[in-house]
């Protein structure tokens, strides 16, 4: 509402200034015409006088009629039937020290015979309503008022008469805009002490806005209430999840599952992605998509990442030692990437379990690289240690292409949404083929995520994608199932104590 008021005030000021300029022009012409007539010597009706009056009306564009009237005889530049002169003897509406004013235009129903008249001495000049509205260009519904008698009376010069005074606080200072319930009023700044000019316009904007608002208000309130309740619910859920996470870690409710990553040509498992699982005491599961963001915001994600790393090496250490080509990729969050901590944790665990650094890869998302410059440095350090860096959920971020060239990465994981979008028959449909070509141009390995159908695997293979992950091959498996998947049930050579886990 404040904005609407402000807009109206601004519009009014601009319109008012423009109007005043035009009015000044018009009044100046009328006064000059009168001054000219008063200066010349003729003081009675004669053909000479008529020609003098005609000259004046030709000279000044806004003067429609010029008359001589000394109380007994009247002569005009127009024949009597075209004259605008009000009934002789009508008192002027404003009597100034030099000029007299008749403001009858709005009351006179005939447009042509309505006029604004100024008098000085025995001469009077009139402007027609047509002239006036040409000069003043009033917006629809607007009125131009002349306010006299110490702001007590408002006479319409153009437009409708108005209740007066318009508001309890009237009069404002010159040039100030007053907004009442229905109208916007602007008191034009003038030096004239005889009268004030006021421009009045209806508040069309506001009433429209108000009626719209009236309709919308219940809806807006309802939406606001729903959003508020939702926000409260989510905040509570996050709070309770955050609290529960700590207890869950202590009670050992987290486990790690491994989803195989396969070679699309041979269908052999080349590695796995470690995915955390939360099984509550009552057997229900909470999706990582729910609790990972909470853990990220509370900072508990570090403990979770450490847990996944530790559990992976405990459970799969022997398998990795026995299969030096096999690797496990670990998901990192933004705070794992930005802080050098993870390098030390993994180095200690690798040494403890005697596993090569290239067998632990790290998955980072674009969201995880809050500051790309710092991320570059940290990832380079991990890479220098021998770890592979995978970009997870590729294509769902915002800055994919631009920064990819400069990042120290080995592999792109194309997000499931692009794999889902692959057409049944056209390998070239969707975004995936473009990502694949770009990855190849940058010498990056590609892993397609979320492959659920054979045709997707075929299409991706034909596009040159070497690796895939998805339910078509395997769902995430527990450690035992994953070991079986790799060994086909065969025992792996030299055992260590923790291989029993």
Interacting residues with ligand C2E (CB under 6 A): 259, 275-276, 287-289, 292, 305, 308, 331, 333, 363, 392-393, 449-452, 469-471, 476
Pick the closest to residue 395 from 354, 433, 343 (CA basis): 433
Q: Residue 244 CB, nearest distance to Mg ion (Å)?
A: 23
Q: Find tokens 């930005």 and name the residue.
A: 338
Q: Residue 308 CB, nearest distance to ligand C2E (Å)?
A: 4
- 366 interacts with Mg ion by CB under 5 A: no
Q: Which is nearer to ligand C2E, 151 or 314 (CB)?
A: 314
Copy the structure tokens of residue 402: 């631009």
Q: Which stretch binds Mg ion (CB under 5 A): 73-81, 205-213, 370-378, 447-455?
A: 447-455
Q: Residue 267 CB, nearest distance to Mg ion (Å)?
A: 21
Q: What is the largest CA-CA distance in the chain?
A: 137
Q: Which is nearer to ligand C2E, 183 or 378 (CB)?
A: 378
275 binds, options Mg ion, ligand C2E, none, Cβ within 5 to 8 A by partner type: ligand C2E
15 binds, options ligand C2E, Mg ion, none, Cβ within 5 to 8 A by partner type: none
Q: Residue 353 CB, nearest distance to Mg ion (Å)?
A: 22
Q: Residue 257 CB, nearest distance to Mg ion (Å)?
A: 12
308 binds, options ligand C2E, Mg ion, none, Cβ within 5 to 8 A by partner type: ligand C2E
Q: Which is nearer to ligand C2E, 253 or 452 (CB)?
A: 452
- 363 interacts with Mg ion by CB under 5 A: yes
105 binds, options Mg ion, ligand C2E, none, Cβ within 5 to 8 A by partner type: none
Task: Identify the residue among 57, 76, 331, 469 touching Mg ion (CB under 5 A).
Answer: 331
Q: Site residues for Mg ion, window 231-290 (CB under 5 A)?
A: none
430 binds, options ligand C2E, Mg ion, none, Cβ within 5 to 8 A by partner type: none
Which ranges of 156-203 does DSSP label H, i.e. alpha helix? none
287 binds, options Mg ion, ligand C2E, none, Cβ within 5 to 8 A by partner type: ligand C2E
Burial call 260-279: b when 16+ CB within 10 Å, e when fewer = bbbebeeeebbbbbbbbebe
The DSSP code for 106 is T
The DSSP code for 432 is H
Q: Which is nearer to ligand C2E, 179 or 404 (CB)?
A: 404
Could you tell me if 255 and 277 are in contact, meaning their C-beta atoms sit under 8 angstroms apart?
A: yes
Copy the structure tokens of residue 405: 């060239």
395 binds, options ligand C2E, Mg ion, none, Cβ within 5 to 8 A by partner type: none
Number of C-beta neighbours around residue 285 at 10 A: 10
Give 199's strand partners. Answer: 144, 186
Could you tell me if 196 and 142 are in contact, meaning their C-beta atoms sit under 8 angstroms apart?
A: no
**Strand intervals (E) in 85-215:** 94-95, 100-103, 115-120, 123-128, 143-148, 153-158, 177-179, 183-187, 196-202
Q: Residue 333 CB, nearest distance to ligand C2E (Å)?
A: 4
- What is residue 218's three-state secondary structure? helix
452 binds, options ligand C2E, Mg ion, none, Cβ within 5 to 8 A by partner type: ligand C2E
Number of H helices, E strands in the chain: 14, 20
Could you tell me if 106 and 159 are in contact, meaning their C-beta atoms sit under 8 angstroms apart?
A: yes
How far apart CA 398 and CA 160 sit, in angstroms, is 59
Q: Residue 254 CB, nearest distance to Mg ion (Å)?
A: 17
Copy the structure tokens of residue 180: 């009442």
Could you tell me if 94 and 3 are in contact, meaning their C-beta atoms sit under 8 angstroms apart?
A: no
Q: Residue 244 CB, nearest distance to ligand C2E (Å)?
A: 17
Q: Residue 301 CB, nearest distance to ligand C2E (Å)?
A: 6
Q: What 3 state SS string does 466-487 have?
A: CEECCCCCCCCECHHHHHHHHH
Q: Which stretch binds Mg ion (CB under 5 A): 13-21, 263-271, 307-315, 329-337?
A: 329-337
DSSP H/E element including 271: strand 269-279
Task: Identify the residue among 393, 463, 474, 499 touching Mg ion (CB under 5 A).
Answer: 393
276 binds, options ligand C2E, Mg ion, none, Cβ within 5 to 8 A by partner type: ligand C2E
Q: Return residues touching Mg ion (CB under 5 A).
A: 331, 363, 392-393, 449
């Amino acid at each position: 509402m404040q904005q609407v008021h402000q807009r109206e005030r601004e519009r009014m000021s601009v319109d008012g200034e423009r109007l005043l300029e035009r009015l000044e022009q018009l009044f100046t012409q009328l006064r000059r015409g009168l001054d000219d007539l008063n200066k010349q010597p003729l003081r009675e009706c004669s053909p000479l006088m008529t020609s003098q009056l005609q000259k004046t009306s030709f000279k000044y564009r806004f003067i429609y009629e010029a008359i001589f009237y000394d109380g007994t005889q009247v002569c005009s530049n127009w024949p009597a039937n075209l004259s605008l002169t009000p009934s002789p003897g009508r008192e002027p509406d404003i009597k100034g020290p030099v000029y007299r004013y008749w403001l009858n235009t709005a009351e006179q129903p005939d447009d042509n015979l309505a006029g604004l008249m100024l008098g000085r001495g025995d001469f009077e000049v009139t402007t027609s309503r047509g002239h006036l509205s040409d000069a003043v260009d009033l917006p629809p519904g607007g009125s131009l008022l002349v306010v006299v008698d110490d702001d007590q009376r408002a006479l319409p010069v153009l437009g409708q008469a108005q209740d007066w005074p318009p508001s309890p606080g009237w009069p404002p200072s010159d040039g100030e805009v007053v907004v009442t319930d229905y109208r916007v009023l602007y008191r034009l700044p003038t030096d004239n002490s005889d009268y004030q000019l006021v421009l009045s316009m209806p508040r069309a904007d506001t009433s429209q806005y108000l009626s719209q608002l009236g309709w919308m208000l219940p809806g807006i309130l309802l939406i606001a209430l729903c959003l508020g309740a939702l926000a409260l619910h989510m905040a509570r859920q996050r709070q309770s999840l955050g609290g529960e996470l700590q207890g869950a870690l202590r009670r050992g409710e987290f486990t790690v599952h491994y989803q195989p990553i396969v070679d699309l040509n041979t269908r052999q498992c080349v590695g796995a992605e470690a995915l955390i699982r939360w099984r509550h005491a009552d057997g229900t599961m909470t999706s990582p998509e729910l609790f990972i963001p909470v853990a990220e915001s509370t900072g508990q994600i570090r403990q979770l990442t450490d847990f996944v790393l530790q559990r992976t090496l405990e459970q799969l250490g022997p398998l990795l030692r026995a299969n030096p080509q096999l690797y496990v990729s670990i998901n990192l969050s933004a705070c794992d990437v930005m802080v050098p901590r993870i390098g030390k944790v993994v180095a200690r665990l690798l040494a403890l379990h005697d596993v090569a650094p290239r067998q632990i890869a790290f998955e980072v998302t674009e969201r995880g690289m809050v500051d790309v410059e710092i991320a570059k440095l940290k990832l380079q350090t991990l890479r220098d240690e021998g770890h592979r860096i995978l970009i997870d959920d590729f294509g769902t971020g915002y800055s994919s292409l631009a920064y990819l060239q400069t990042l120290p990465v080995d592999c792109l994981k194309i997000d499931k949404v692009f794999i889902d979008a692959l057409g049944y028959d056209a390998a070239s449909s969707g975004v995936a083929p473009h990502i694949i070509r770009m990855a190849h141009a940058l010498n990056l390995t590609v892993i397609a995520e979320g492959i659920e159908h054979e045709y997707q695997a075929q299409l991706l293979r034909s596009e040159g994608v070497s690796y895939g992950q998805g339910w078509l091959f395997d769902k995430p498996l527990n450690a035992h199932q994953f070991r079986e998947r790799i060994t086909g049930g065969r025992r792996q050579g030299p055992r260590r104590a923790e291989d029993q886990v």
